C-alpha cells in the first residue's frame, strides 16, 4: 500500500462500476464532499475507502480495485475485535461461528464487513447505507443496520443504528477500523495521544485477561512519541472533553494532527501500530472506537443485548485538527 498517496478529487454522488457486469472488489462507490472534505464510501463493508481534507489523507486509503487489505474503516458488527474460538452462548444455546483468524483461533471483527451494503439515501455531503444481516450458521439472529456518513466543515460524522428484527435476544457489539494516515512520514516520527484511563491486559491470543490503570507505554493521556511503541491494545474508561467526546490523535511531521473521536455511546478503544501485519508494518495507526472490547460475547463486559424490536445507536467521527 502506498501511504504517500492522496485521494483523487472527485465530485460527490454514486459512481457505478467502470466495467459493466464486473463490479470492483470494493463494490459501488459513493463519493461525498463538503468544502475541502472528501470521502468515498465503498459498498462492501460500508468502508470509508478514502477520506481527505484539502487533499491530505486523514485515513490511509485503499484502491477501488482491491479488497480492503486491513479492514480499512469497516463497520465491525455484531462484534468487534476477537471472539474466542468462534464460540459463544446465548440464552443457554452454544453457537459456533467460523474461525477467521486461525493463528489465534478466533473469529475476527464480526460478520458485516464483507457484505454489500445498500445505499438508501444519497446527498452531496452524506450517504446512508443499510445491511439486513441474515441469520446464518452460528448466528441465528436477524439485524438491520443503517450507517450514515456525513461531511461538514467539522469533519466526518458517522452514525450507526441497528435494530433486531428477528426472534430471540441477540448479543451485540460494534466497532470501526479507521487507519490514521501519517501523511507519508514514518510512524516513528509521529506522536500519539488517547483519552482513556484503563488498559486491557491480554493473553498471547490478544484476548482479555483483565484491566489495569494506564502506566508506562500504555499511558497515552499525554502526547508522546510513537518511536518504539508497538501497540495492538485496548483501553476502557474513556475520558471526555467539554463536548462529551473522547479522542485519539496522531500528530504528524507535516504539522497536521489526524484524529478520531467517539461520543458517550462508546467507551472502548483499540489502537494498533501494525507492527505484526505482514506487508503493512507501521503504515499507519488504527484508532478504533468500540462499544466493547474483545470476547464480550463470552465475558459479558459492555455487551449489548438486543431483544426483538430493540435498537442500538452509536456515533463517532474523524477530522484534521
Supply the DSSP string of 89-113, one letter for each residue: EETTEEEE---SBTTTTEEES-SGG
Q: Longest Cα pair distance anywhere in the chain, in angstroms?
A: 55
Question: Which residue, chain included where needed, has cell 448466528?
Answer: 139
Q: pLDDT grade, residue 7 (50/70/90)?
A: very low
Could you give phi then psi for residue 167, rounded to 5 degrees?
-100, 155
- pLDDT over threshold 60, residue 16: no
Question: Could you tell me the CA-to-CA distances from 100 to 156, 190, 223, 276 in Å, in that order?
Answer: 30, 32, 35, 17
Residue of 20 and 277 predicted with greater confidence: 277
Q: pLDDT grade, residue 21 (50/70/90)?
A: confident
d(CA 248, CA 250): 7
DSSP 57-88: ESB----TTS--TT-TT-EE-S--SEEETTEE
| Mean pLDDT, all residues of the chain | 94
What's the whole-number mean pLDDT along residues 22-34?
Answer: 94
By DSSP bridging, strand 93-96 and strand 106-108 are unpaired
State residue 22's pLDDT score: 81
User: Burial level of 105, CB count in 10 A (0-12/13-18/19+)?
Assistant: middle
Q: Could you tell me what percent of the chain has a pLDDT over 90? A: 93
What's the whole-number mean pLDDT along residues 14-33?
Answer: 77
Residue 162's nearest CA partner among 119, 130, 204 is 130
- pLDDT over threshold 90, residue 13: no
- What's the pLDDT tens digit per position in 188-198? 999 999 999 99
- pLDDT over threshold 80, residue 12: no
Q: pLDDT grade, residue 2 (50/70/90)?
A: very low
State residue 19's pLDDT score: 52
- What's the pLDDT tens digit per position in 72-98? 999 999 999 999 999 999 999 999 999
State residue 23's pLDDT score: 83
State residue 8's pLDDT score: 36
Q: Could you tell me what percent of the chain has a pLDDT over 70? A: 94
What's the whole-number mean pLDDT along residues 152-176?
Answer: 98
Q: pLDDT grade, residue 60 (50/70/90)?
A: very high
By DSSP bridging, strand 87-90 and strand 118-122 are unpaired
8 A C-beta contact, residue 68 and residue 109: no
State residue 20's pLDDT score: 61
- pLDDT over threshold 80, residue 3: no
- What's the pLDDT tens digit per position in 292-309? 999 999 999 999 999 999
- What's the pLDDT tens digit per position in 228-263? 999 999 999 999 999 999 999 999 999 999 999 999
Helix (H) or strand (E) segment spanning residue 25 = none
State residue 4's pLDDT score: 35
d(CA 114, CA 177): 14
d(CA 65, CA 72): 14
What's the whole-number mean pLDDT along residues 149-175?
Answer: 98
- pLDDT over threshold 50, residue 5: no
- pLDDT over threshold 90, residue 199: yes
User: Burial level of 244, CB count in 10 A (0-12/13-18/19+)?
Assistant: exposed
Amino acid at each position: 500500500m502506498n501511504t504517500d498517496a492522496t485521494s483523487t478529487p472527485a465530485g460527490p454522488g454514486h459512481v457505478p462500476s467502470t466495467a459493466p457486469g464486473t463490479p470492483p472488489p470494493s463494490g459501488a462507490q459513493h463519493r461525498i464532499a463538503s468544502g475541502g472534505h472528501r470521502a468515498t464510501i465503498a459498498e462492501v463493508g460500508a468502508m470509508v475507502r478514502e477520506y481527505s481534507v484539502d487533499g491530505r489523507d486523514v485515513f490511509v486509503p485503499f484502491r477501488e480495485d482491491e479488497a480492503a487489505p486491513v479492514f480499512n474503516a469497516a463497520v465491525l458488527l455484531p462484534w468487534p475485535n476477537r471472539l474466542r474460538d468462534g464460540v459463544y452462548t446465548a440464552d443457554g444455546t452454544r453457537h459456533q461461528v467460523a474461525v477467521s483468524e486461525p493463528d489465534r483461533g478466533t473469529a475476527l471483527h464480526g460478520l458485516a464487513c464483507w457484505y454489500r451494503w445498500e445505499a438508501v439515501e444519497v446527498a452531496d455531503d452524506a450517504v446512508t447505507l443499510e445491511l439486513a444481516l441474515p441469520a446464518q450458521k452460528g448466528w441465528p439472529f436477524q439485524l438491520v443496520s443503517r450507517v450514515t456518513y456525513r461531511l461538514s466543515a467539522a469533519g466526518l460524522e458517522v452514525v450507526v443504528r441497528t435494530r433486531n428484527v428477528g426472534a430471540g435476544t441477540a448479543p451485540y457489539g460494534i466497532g470501526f477500523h479507521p487507519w490514521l494516515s501519517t501523511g507519508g512520514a514514518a510512524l516513528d516520527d509521529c506522536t500519539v495521544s488517547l483519552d482513556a484511563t484503563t488498559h486491557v491486559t491480554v493473553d498471547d491470543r490478544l484476548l482479555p485477561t483483565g484491566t489495569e490503570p494506564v502506566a508506562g507505554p500504555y499511558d497515552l493521556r499525554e502526547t508522546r512519541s510513537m518511536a518504539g511503541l508497538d501497540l495492538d491494545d485496548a483501553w476502557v474508561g474513556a475520558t471526555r472533553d467539554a463536548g462529551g467526546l473522547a479522542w485519539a490523535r496522531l500528530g504528524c511531521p507535516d504539522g497536521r494532527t489526524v484524529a478520531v473521536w467517539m461520543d458517550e455511546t462508546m467507551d472502548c478503544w483499540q489502537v494498533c501500530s501494525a507492527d505484526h501485519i505482514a506487508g503493512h508494518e507501521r503504515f499507519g495507526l488504527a484508532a478504533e472506537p468500540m462499544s466493547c472490547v474483545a470476547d464480550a460475547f463470552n465475558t459479558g463486559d459492555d455487551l449489548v443485548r438486543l431483544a426483538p424490536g430493540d435498537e442500538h445507536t452509536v456515533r463517532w467521527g474523524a477530522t484534521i485538527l
